[in-house]
Amino acid sequence: MNTEEIDVLTQITPTELLAQHLKVTADEIVRATDANDYNSAQRLIRTADRLLDAIVQIN
């Protein structure tokens, strides 16, 4: 990892990082639902719920 990458990582708040993960998880939920993969969608929804809980606890 170079210095620029480290600088960018240190500028991201924990809330922003969790929000980025939440966005990716939401996109994965849509893809799983579109593919009729409801087991994966359920698992991803639980993951999203945990991410939201973490964001609330931080703030």
Domain with 47 in it = 13-58
User: In the structure, what pLDDT confidence band is assigned to residue 2 with cuts at 50, 70 and 90?
Assistant: low
Report the C-alpha gap between 47 and 41 in whole angstroms.
10
Could you report the per-residue pLDDT of 33-54, keeping only the tens digit for each? 999 999 999 999 999 999 999 9
Question: What global pTM score does this model have?
Answer: 0.76
Establish if 38 belongs to a structural domain.
yes
pLDDT at 11: 82
> Across residues 6-20, what is the average pLDDT?
82
Q: Is residue 6 part of a domain?
A: no
> What is the predicted pLDDT for the residue at 35?
96
Query: In the structure encoding, which two tokens stand for residue 42, read together?
Result: 């359920």
d(CA 22, CA 58): 15
Examine the pLDDT at 6 and tell me if it is beyond 70.
no
CA–CA separation, 47 vs 53, rounded Å? 10
- Report the number of distinct structural domains present in the chain: 1
Q: Kindly state whether residue 2 falls inside one of the protein's structural domains.
A: no
